[in-house]
Amino acid sequence: MNKRATATAPPRAAPPIPADTGSASDAPQRLPVVDLLRGLAIAQMVAYHFIYDLTYFGWLHFEMTEIAGWVAWRNAIVTQFLLVCGVGVGLGEAAGRTGARFWRRWLQIAGAAALVSIASAWLFGPRWIWFGMLHFVAVALLIARPLASVGGIKGGAVNLAVGAAVLVLGWTVHDERFDSQWIGWIGMAADRPPTEDYVPLVPWFGVVAIGIGLTAFWTRRGFATPPALRELDSPPARALRWLGRWPLTIYLVHQPIMMAVLMGVRHLAGD
């Protein structure tokens, strides 16, 4: 089990955030309810990281990488993001998003993943991030796009079946032959590799595929939204929708900002 980060070591990566697969100008890709749900996941991520950082500085004392409740919350946050990621892929297909738009967004995500790897190699050394959340999203989008092109009820059923199969595979198959870093990105490793962030294709792609499948059925229903969500227009809801429009930017900047602020507070406090 991983030990809690101490004040002499850089903080471990907690739940990261996948990139938005939509475009701010497209419809129905900018359905408010999707931005709201994505923003809710972002808010949870920031809260989780804030508690994690307070633990790193020694102001709180939680074994966040070991206690089941904290691990479960992290997995729940990642699941929310990846499910919305799949929904975004499905909405992009329904909106007829062009190949140029897809590849432009994919290059942004892949470039951000490369920056994370470079920065983590400097911060964490041998525990550098070689297949974290952004790496996962970059690869998952390449697999998800052709799956999303299978439209209608058939496409929904196909993607739900693929998602369920990948989840079951990831939960039941663990083989040391997948422990090598060269193929560790696939998943099914017997032991978690020594890296600060690890999001393998199996089982996590199953969540993305389920998101695509659910969107196919949602498309058939004309993107019907429960009135309670459709009419939710309070200031907190508007704030969540705003957060949901900028997932990649928030992912890249929120931790450096929080760490810088907390380091400043510790310096002023004389710790």
Q: The tokens of 17 are what?
A: 């955030």
Domain extent, residue 231, equals 27-62+226-271
Q: Are residues 171 and 213 in the same domain?
A: yes
Q: Are residues 236 and 211 in the same domain?
A: no
Q: Are residues 154 and 246 in the same domain?
A: no
**pLDDT, one tens digit for every residue, the chain (271 residues):** 444 333 334 344 445 444 444 433 343 557 888 999 999 999 999 999 899 889 888 899 888 878 899 989 989 999 999 999 999 999 988 888 778 889 999 999 999 999 999 988 987 889 899 999 999 999 999 999 999 988 778 889 999 999 999 999 999 998 888 888 788 899 998 888 888 888 999 999 999 999 999 999 998 888 887 776 666 778 889 999 999 999 999 998 998 899 899 999 988 877 6
Rounded Cα gap, residues 180 and 147, in angstroms:
28
230 and 166 Cβ atoms separated by less than 8 Å: no
Query: Domain end: 219, 239, 255, which one?
Result: 219
Q: Are residues 145 and 232 in the same domain?
A: no
Q: Are residues 201 and 238 in the same domain?
A: no
**Residue matched to tokens 């196919």:** 216
- Residue 154: which of 105, 202, 212 has the closest Cα? 212
Q: The tokens of 89 are what?
A: 């892929």
Q: The tokens of 104 are what?
A: 């432009």
- The answer as to whether 49 is a domain residue is yes
Q: Is the bond leading into 28 cis (omega within 30 degrees of zero)?
A: yes
Q: The tokens of 56 are what?
A: 């790193």
35 and 101 Cβ atoms separated by less than 8 Å: no
CA 19 to chain centre: 7
Q: Are residues 248 and 201 in the same domain?
A: no
Number of structural domains, the chain? 2
What string of DSSP letters covers 90-137?
HHHHHTT--HHHHHHHHHHHHHHHHHHHHHHHHHHGGG--SB-HHHHH
Q: Are residues 129 and 242 in the same domain?
A: no
54 and 86 Cβ atoms separated by less than 8 Å: no
pLDDT at 26: 40
Q: Are residues 163 and 146 in the same domain?
A: yes
**3-state percent helix, strand, coil for the chain, nearest multiple of 5:** 65, 0, 30
Q: Are residues 126 and 206 in the same domain?
A: yes
89 and 144 Cβ atoms separated by less than 8 Å: yes
Query: Domain end: 199, 219, 239, which one?
Result: 219
Q: Are residues 136 and 172 in the same domain?
A: yes
Using the Cα atoms of residue 225, residue 227, residue 231 and residue 236 in order, give the sign of their dihedral.
Answer: negative
- The answer as to whether 76 is a domain residue is no
